[in-house]
Amino acid sequence: MRQLLEKFRTIEQDLSKQKGDFVLFALIELEEVQNKWDVVVSATWLEEGKKKDLDFVIKQIQSKFSNDEMMFLAKVVLLDPSEPFVKNITSVVSVKGGSLEIKDSAFNNTFVKHAYVITSQKDSTVSLAQK
């Protein structure tokens, strides 16, 4: 897993340089889909549900991983920084370009069996807009 995390840290850094910072960039294993990981990303420059943004992130992942390595992924999920799940994680976890490990935790009623959080930081534009 260590080598995979290094590759994801590199992807996060490359994308941040190209497009801007992430609010959340994490690998998450949910209880209901064991041994498969979701790549969960949130940034102000990503639009939730936009195919072009999803394809862009997937292309970056595919450029760093072999087909065999891709087998551990369940899906790539784009979330808006204002999503309750994102806000909940970023309110309790703060890391930038790392790999903070979390086990058996619930975030906004979603049970996370295992996670590696590469980046989690509060989005100041979301916070200001809601005040």
> How do the pLDDT tens digits run along the chain, 131 residues long?
788 899 999 999 999 999 999 999 999 998 877 789 999 999 999 986 789 999 999 999 999 999 888 888 999 999 999 999 999 999 988 999 888 999 998 888 888 999 999 999 986 544 433 33
**Regarding the domain delimited by 2-123, which CATH topology (the fold level of the hierarchy) does it fall under?**
Beta Polymerase; domain 2 (3.30.460)
Q: Tokens representing 57?
A: 């992130």
Contact yes or no for 23/41 (Cβ under 8 A): no
**Alpha-carbon distances, residue 91 vs 3, 41, 84, 115 (angstroms):** 28, 16, 10, 16
Tokens 């995390």 appear where?
5
3-class state of residue 30 by DSSP: strand
